[in-house]
Structure 1
Amino acid sequence: MGNSGRDEGGERVKNAILIAGPTASGKSALALELATSKGGVIVNADSMQVYSVLDVLTARPGADDLKRAPHYLYGHVSPATAYSTGAWLRDVTQLIERGTLAGRIPIFVGGTGLYFKALVEGISKMPDIPASIREHWRGRSLEEGSEQLHRILAERDPEMATRLKPGDTQRIVRALEVLEASGRSILDWQGASGNALVDRESASFFVLEPERPTLVRRIDERFDRMLEAGALEEVRALASMQLDPALPAMKAIGVRELQAADAGEIEFSEAITRAKIATRQYAKRQTTWFRNQFGPEWKRLKSVESIS
């Protein structure tokens, strides 16, 4: 693999390494191994690890890891922000335009499949949403509930409404925001092609697929380590911010469960059990998504193995 760089048209990063996989599969360790051996830089491609406050609970790389290789787009977003795939792609674009990845092997690692698809396929540009419109619909979602907003969406954009469940608050609100701000369905915007940031021909694609028993064990052991490392304190800090429960950061696995235990609603042992089960279910959804959405260019690894 040669050095990273933009192609002649300045459109795509060459020689990138993409590492995807379910939570607790060992992605970060593999990325760090490659970064240290190849002089690479690591770019986060996990939608939860972008948030500050939840360092431990989202399994962000620790201080020792950060010393071994440059890491970008970790913990740079406030939990009060509804970060999106489009926002992530803009942040990656800024890294490229600043020359941060120039002359280095960029290693994108994470468990958010949509980030990887956007990276290699591009994403349609979405309209800017005025703050007044955003506040209007988010306020109504709190007052009236997602089912009422889903009915409104069904009247104004029936096709989009059929694709969303009545309880999918965030996506319903987003669809209504885009419709009001632009006068066009979000489906129209999503149908427009965008520019890929990674050159597919020179890129290397890896997806970790550990055996299920191994992954379950890793998930359970990791959550125990998270608790020892201060996950509960992070959840308390997040709770003190009094954020909208519909925000993505508030849906991080373990937040709801530990908050309930801290409030005395359930026993801590029950919270731990629920969080571990939720993590296993999430890992299963991730694995299914990768199998269905990633093409033959992705090399599938049963374990973290050396890549040369």
Structure 2
Amino acid sequence: MEHSDGQAGEGRVKNAILIAGPTASGKSAFALDLAERKGGVIVNTDSMQGYSVLDVLTARPGAADLARAPHFLYGHVHPATAYSTGAWLRDVMKLIDEGTLSARPDGTFFERPGDGSLLERPVIFVGGTGLYFRALAEGISEIPNIPQRIRDRWRYELKEQGAVKLHSLLLREDSAAAMTLKPTDSQRIVRALEVLDASGRSILEWQAQRGRPLIDRQSARFLVIEPDRAALVRRIEARFDKMLDMGALDEVKRLVALNLNPDLPAMKAIGVRELQAAMAGKIGFPEAIELAKIATRQYAKRQATWFRNQLGPEWQRLRPGDDLETTIRQLVSTTT
């Protein structure tokens, strides 16, 4: 059997396909078409789609999509959790080490067309979170796990004191880390304090220690979708209207009923605050819908800017007018 270089023991995935793109760019449909034709599996590479409850509002794959190809790391994290890039990378590593991504459900592998030799199942990473892709390709520092009691303590302090006061505390205890953060960046301030509390070392020291990439860069394919801006805006607006028809408002109601800290990442999912404000009578629903669409457009623009400036020359840019069908056929025919 043809194994990936060190895949099981060292977390290396050979022949991975990475598909990045801004929200509503069509990357999930592209990945699903590819996975179905290539016999591959799809791994979520989007921070918001990992949270449960928000099935519709984060545009997670539906039942029909899940039936066409195996999907992993979708909706597996409770909204009360502040999920991080490191936690996601560990979840991917677990899938790799357990062999979940490599074989069919019955444990068998795939035959190579022509000679009948065996090869592992293609792994397709798709999403819009740039830091996840960077972690896959470059590795990240191995920051230690934070005990729950320490997490609870600093989240309580955030709720009681607020981000600005905690930033002042961090400035006294770890001035170098504090200087890299805005006083209002509550999640990163709490993270820095947690790491300092749990390990006695600055988060900057941990971040300076790079881990190993999960993917084999030499055999990987890197793709980023760069859609036409006007077409993307139309897709965003139509998609949000569809989300409302599919029950997005009920999802927000269920999320609010959990009485979570508003600074948690899941509570910042686009549409949550806007619809919550409308439910509370602070604004009208038409205004909430328009604000959510504006926020989505702004988010897509930030994603596109990040991908344009941060992704290197190894990334193939799929621009308006490019024949995606040809690209899929080329990827399907590749059996290296």
Instruction: Name 1:113's counterpart in structure 2.
Output: 130
Query: Displacement, 1:280?
Result: 0.6
**What letter corresponds to residue 266 of structure 2 in structure 1?**
A
Instruction: Name 1:20's counterpart in structure 2.
Output: 20
> In 1, distance between residues paired with 2:223 and 2:36?
17
Query: Displacement, 1:51?
Result: 0.6
Over aligned residue pairs, what C-alpha RMSD do you find? 1.3
Correspondence 1:273-284 to 2 at 5 A: 273-284=290-301
Instruction: Name 2:58's counterpart in structure 1.
Output: 58
Instruction: Name 1:89's counterpart in structure 2.
Output: 89
Correspondence 1:148-297 to 2 at 5 A: 148-297=165-314
Query: Displacement, 1:162?
Result: 1.4
Equivalenced residues, count: 306
Cα offsets for 1:43-79 (capped at 9, x unmatched): 0000000011100000000110000000000001111
> In 2, distance between residues paired with 1:287 and 1:5?
35
Q: 1:4, 1:101 within 8 Å by CA — same for their partners in 2?
A: no
What TM-score do the two structures reach when normalised by structure 1?
0.97
Query: Displacement, 1:172?
Result: 0.2
> In 2, distance between residues paired with 1:270 and 1:8?
53
Q: 1:5, 1:101 within 8 Å by CA — same for their partners in 2?
A: no
Identity among equivalent positions (%) equals 68
Answering whether residue 47 of structure 2 is matched by residue 76 of structure 1, we say no
Query: Displacement, 1:6?
Result: 2.3
Instruction: Name 1:99's counterpart in structure 2.
Output: 99
**Structure 2 counterpart SS, 1:13:** coil
Q: 1:305 is matched with which residue: 305, 321, 324?
A: 324
Distance 1:33 1:142, change over 3 A: same
> In 1, distance between residues paired with 2:3 and 2:243?
37
Cα offsets for 1:245-303 (capped at 9, x unmatched): 11110000000000000111100000001000000111111111111111000001124
**What letter corresponds to residue 45 of structure 2 in structure 1?**
A
> In 1, distance between residues paired with 2:224 and 2:149?
41
Q: 1:5, 1:13 within 8 Å by CA — same for their partners in 2?
A: no
Q: 1:4, 1:13 within 8 Å by CA — same for their partners in 2?
A: no
* Larger Rg over CA atoms: 2
Note the residue ranges of structure 1 that are not aligned, 5 or more in a row.
none
Query: Displacement, 1:28?
Result: 0.3
Answering whether residue 58 of structure 2 is matched by residue 41 of structure 1, we say no
What TM-score do the two structures reach when normalised by structure 2?
0.89
